[in-house]
């Protein structure tokens, strides 16, 4: 298995531009998670999906952030408009079932820089 795939790996954009991050979970995994990591706040859960349905988006910082999962093999995290404070590494992770002790596997991340 190729693991969790994310694209792009690096993104540099200017303030006000729209940014779209993409994720392909591990085949057969039915949970997908979006995290953001910064030096100041560490690793934070933004939103997670179960069987393509958003379950908890309480970590999404504001209305500028949105996430979709149109099918079991693809998810997007969109920021519109982007701001310099959105600069961070964004990770996607997936897991195989809903039991609370399930293990999450992380993708390589997208390093976002907003100028």
Partner 1 sequence: QKEVEQNSGPLSVPEGAIASLNCTYSDRGSQSFFWYRQYSGKSPELIMSIYSNGDKEDGRFTAQLNKASQYVSLLIRDSQPSDSATYLCAVIGDGGATNKLIFGTGTLLAVQP
Q: Does 107 bind partner 1 (CB under 8 A)?
A: yes
What phi and psi values does residue 85 have, to the nearest 5 degrees? -70, -10
**Whether 31 contacts 23, CB under 8 Å:** no
Q: List b or e across 23-58, with b for residues whose CB sees 16 or more CB atoms inside 10 angstroms.
A: bbbbeebebbbbbbeeeeeeeebbbbbeeeebeeee
The least CB distance from residue 67 to partner 1, in Å, is 15
- The 69-98 contact track toward partner 1, x by CB under 8 A, reads ----------------------x---x--x
54 near partner 1, judged by CB under 8 A? no
> Does residue 42 bind partner 1 (CB under 8 A)?
yes
Residue 5 is a binding residue for partner 1 (CB under 8 A): no
Would you tell me which residues interact with partner 1 (CB under 8 A)?
Answer: 31, 33, 42-45, 48, 50, 55-56, 91, 95, 98, 100-109
């Amino acid at each position: 298995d190729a693991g969790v795939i994310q694209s792009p790996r690096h993104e540099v954009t200017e303030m006000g531009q729209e940014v779209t991050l993409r994720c392909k979970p591990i085949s057969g995994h039915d949970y997908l998670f979006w995290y953001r990591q910064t030096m100041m706040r560490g690793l934070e859960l933004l939103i997670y999906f179960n069987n393509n349905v958003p379950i908890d988006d309480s970590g999404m910082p504001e209305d500028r952030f949105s996430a979709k999962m149109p099918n079991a093999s693809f998810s997007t995290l969109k920021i519109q408009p982007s701001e310099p404070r959105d600069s961070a590494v964004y990770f996607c992770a997936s897991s195989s079932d809903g039991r609370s002790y399930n293990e999450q596997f992380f993708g390589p991340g997208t390093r976002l820089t907003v100028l």
